[in-house]
Structures are given as structure tokens and as C-alpha cells.
Amino acid sequence: MAIKQKNSIFIRVFLIFGSLVLAITLFFAFMVVPMQKNAFKQIMFTQAETVSRSIVQASSDAIISKDFGFIVEHNVEVLKNNTSIHYILISPKIGDKIWINQENWHLIENLNNDIAQLENNNINYKIMPIENYEKVYHFVYPIQFSGISWGWLHIGFSTNQYDKYINDMYFQIIYIIGISFILILCVGYLFARWISQPVSIISHLATQVAGGDLTVRSTIERRDEIGVLSDSFNQMVDSLMQSKKHLENYNQELENKVLKRTQELADLNKDLDNKIKDEVAQRQKQEALLIHQSRLAAMGEMIGAIAHQWRQPLNALGLVQQNLQFKYQMDKLDDDFMNQSMDKSARLIQKMSSTIDDFRNFFKPNKHIEPFNINNIIKSTADLLEAQFKNNNIKLQIICNENLIIKGFQGEFSQVILNLLNNAKDALIENNPKQPTIIIDAIKNNDTVTITIKDNAGGIPDGIIDKIYDPYFTTKEEGKGTGIGLYMSKIIVENNMSGTLRAFNDAEGANFVIELKNNQD
């Protein structure tokens, strides 16, 4: 194991050192190449500009007078004296172009596109193949007389010297890289060995310490970080020996404390179980009390509704009695009038009896889940508040499929609808809009049934909309609200009917949305 660690450290140090030196060498080499290329191109540019200026100055009169003989003779002499020049091309803006090389000369009507693209107001050059020449440094010099552009002078220089310079430079770089590689092998080996050997020794000793042998010590003595590491290792082993003794004593103490704490936790868990059971029982009792209070509150509101429902038929019965007495006193009481009065009294009494039946059915306890018609429940619940709606000019609109059936607790669902209708009624009475309206919309969507109760009382204030389901929270005057209606409605919908109850405001007022699973099957 120690040999593998030594080889691993040695190889990594060697590779890092060698890669760093090689990278630096290559970096400088690749930095030098483009710099040298640009420098040599600048030299060629300066040479070409000097030759071009000399030719233009010497041949200016002949160029203006189009003395082709002198132009050819002079430039042939230039080609003989400069063997590095392959050809000279004089390209006026108007007229034929003169092509002169080492062997002959001739006139050209049009230039090829590569050469023509270089003709502009600036000095240009490009290394490219021209006719029989594989690679030429093509230099273009604009000819101007008295500020007027006359044409261009093209000179094709040989790139042999440029290529030789570049090849020599590449050879030198390869030579330098080779020397660097040899130095990397030698110096890198010594450097890696100098770094890795003491580390490998300390690593081997650390492995022995990890195996439990605390008698080993490092014998490395150096005046650098490795020496400090060696001394620190020895101090660490000494500290480990002392810590081991303390740890053994501490473990014994800890075992005793653990046994004691385990017993305490067992006793605590036993007490905690009892407290949880008591708390659950207390919570169930509290929820039962809230349900009972909610039912009592609903019963109180229902009694008030019955009083409103009975007021009209009682007034009508009183009128019937007064008419009977009046007829009797006038001695005009006959059988027909008596029968009509009795029939009318019977209808009024039947209506009052129906109200009592609705009240009894509403508070009839449901102990079993059973299917019921949502439309019928909504209408029968709304009928209980019919008189209060009429007295306050509240319009009730029910939009519901007559065959919409779900399973659940019918009585509890009726209580939720009654709570939401009462809240909407109270909000309309308090805010008094021009046309107070309550809309109940029940629709079926695939696997869910959605019942929305909407009013136009202006909505729930933003500051309390998140608190309306809290128990005992109410915005009504003292004695007019218990603060448990919405809380119990949410408990019934979400816990007992596996649905959701949510509220939001729109431009007209509040919307309470009940979503129930369509589980009639």
C-alpha cells in the first residue's frame, strides 16, 4: 500500500511539474511564431513600398505619356537587379495593363478578381498563387500625380526567403521543445522525488497509526515545511495516545450516563403517550363542543327564520277571524263564507306545519353516509330563509341540475349551505347594495361537483380574508355572531366530506366555492 502511494504522489508531482514547464515553453513558442511572422511581413512590406515608390518616381513621365517602351525597359532592369521580384504589373484606371516578368512583357485588358479586389486608395498586399507562381507576395501600390489617382502598381515578390525564415523558426522551436523535454525528465524526476519521498514515508506511518499502532515515529529532519510536518506528526501521535486513554475513561462514564438517560427517556415516553392521549381526547371534546355550539347557533337562526315565516300566515289567520266575527255581527255568516274561511285557514295552518317539518328535517342527525339530491337540499335550505330574503328585498337565484346527486351527510351539508346563505344575507343587509342578490351555482365537472355561493355585497376586506375560518372570529356586532359558522363549515366540508372550501372576492362581492368528489357510485 505504501509503494502505491509513493508511486502515485511521485507520478502526480512529476506530471504537474513537467506539464507546467512544457506549457510555459509552448506558450512562449506560440507567442513568438505570430510575432515573428508579423515582423517579417513588415520587413517585406517596407521593402515592397520602397521599390514601388522608386519605380513610380523613375517612370512617372513615361507613365503619364504612356511611353511603354521606357516603362518596360526600366522595369526589366529592376527585375534583373532584384531576383526576388517575379513580375511587375502597371494597371492604369483607363487603358490596357502592362505585365512585365523576367522573360517577356505583354498587355492585359482585364485583371482577375483576386488582383482587382486589392485595387483601392490604400496600399494592400496578399500572399496568394498568381498564374504560374504557386505562392507570391503580391503588393499593390496606388499611383497618384498631383493628388489625382492614375492607377496602381502591382509587384509580385518571391516568398522563398519568407518560407525559409518561417521553417528555420519552426525548427528552432522544435529544438527548444526537445531540450525542454529532456530537462523536464531530469529535473522533474529529481524534483518529484524530493517532494514525494518524505510524504510517502509520513503517509506509510499514518497508515500504521490508522491501524492502531501508536508507537511509530517519524525520523525525517528537514528545515522546511516537510520537517514541520514530521514534527507535527510526532506530536499528533503523542496526543492520540493521551486522547485514547482519556477516551477509554470517558466511554465508561458515557455508558453509565446512557443507561441512565435511556431509563429516563422510557419514563418520559410513557408520560408523553398519556399526555398525547389526553390531548387528543380534549381536542375531540372541544371539536364536539364547537359542533354543538354551531348547531345551537344555527337553531337560533332557524327559530328567527320560522318567526319570519309564520308572521305572514298568522296575520292572515287574524284577518280570517276578524272577517268571521264581522260577518257574524252583521248576521251575514253563511255556509259558503264559512267554508271559504275554513279552507283558507287550513292552507295557512298547513304552510306553518310545513315550516315546522322543514325545521325538524334540517336538524335531524345523520349518522350514515347516503346519497342525496344537491338541488333539493339547496332549495329546502333556502326556503327556510325565504321570509327574511323577502323582507330585505334580497333576490335568490339557484342554478343547479335537478338530478345532481352525491354521497355524504345530508344534514351537515344543509348546515354548511345555511351558514353561507346567512353570511351572505347579513353582508347584504349591512352594505345595502341597490339590488341585493345571492346566486347559488352548482355544476358537475368530470369527477367533481362545484357549488358556488356568490353575493354582491362588496366582498370580504383583504385584511381579514385569511382569518375568516378561525374559530370565534367574527366581524358582526356582539350577540349577532358566534364566529364558528365558517370554521365548522370548513371542518364539515374538508374532514367529513373530503372536499374543499375556499373564498375569494370579485368585482361585485364574495364568492364561497365548495368542491366535492362526485362519488355517487
C-alpha cell of residue 453? 355561493
Backbone phi and psi for residue 331, each to the nearest 5 degrees, phi listed first: 60, 40
Backbone phi and psi for residue 332, each to the nearest 5 degrees, phi listed first: -120, 15
Tens of pLDDT, residue by residue, the chain (521 residues): 444 444 566 777 777 777 777 777 777 777 777 787 788 788 888 888 888 888 888 888 887 777 778 888 888 888 888 888 888 888 888 888 888 887 888 888 888 888 888 888 888 988 888 877 888 889 999 988 877 888 898 998 888 887 888 888 888 888 887 887 787 777 777 776 776 667 777 777 778 777 777 777 777 777 767 777 777 877 887 788 788 788 878 888 888 888 888 888 888 888 887 888 888 778 767 666 666 666 655 566 556 656 655 665 666 577 667 777 777 788 777 877 787 778 767 765 765 665 565 555 555 555 578 888 989 889 888 877 787 788 889 999 999 988 888 888 887 888 788 888 988 988 898 898 989 999 999 998 888 999 999 999 999 888 888 888 777 677 766 545 556 678 778 888 888 888 999 999 998 999 999 999 876 55
With contact defined as beta carbons under 8 Å apart, do 483 and 473 qualify?
yes
Judged by phi (left if over 0) then psi (alpha if -120 to 50, else beta), residue 459 lies in left
Q: What is the DSSP letter of 257?
A: H
User: Which residues, other chains included, contact 482 with Cβ-Cβ below 8 Å and sequence gap of 6+?
Assistant: 293, 294, 297, 472, 474
Q: Is 371 helix (H, G, I), strand (E, B) or coil?
A: strand
Q: Which of 397, 398, 396, 393 is nearest to 435 (CA)?
A: 393
User: Which residues, other chains included, contact 258 with Cβ-Cβ below 8 Å and sequence gap of 6+?
Assistant: none
With contact defined as beta carbons under 8 Å apart, do 493 and 415 qualify?
no
CA distances (Å), origin 381, targets 9, 298, 342, 512, 516: 87, 12, 30, 17, 19
- How many Å is the Cα radius of gyration of the chain? 55
Domains of the chain are 2-179 (3.30.450.20), 366-521 (3.30.565.10)
Backbone phi and psi for residue 457, each to the nearest 5 degrees, phi listed first: -90, 10
With contact defined as beta carbons under 8 Å apart, do 209 and 244 qualify?
no
Q: Is 115 helix (H, G, I), strand (E, B) or coil?
A: helix
Q: Which of 81, 173, 79 is nearest to 89 (CA)?
A: 79
Torsion of Cα atoms, 361 then 364 then 367 then 369, to 10°? 20
Q: What is the pLDDT of residue 344?
A: 67
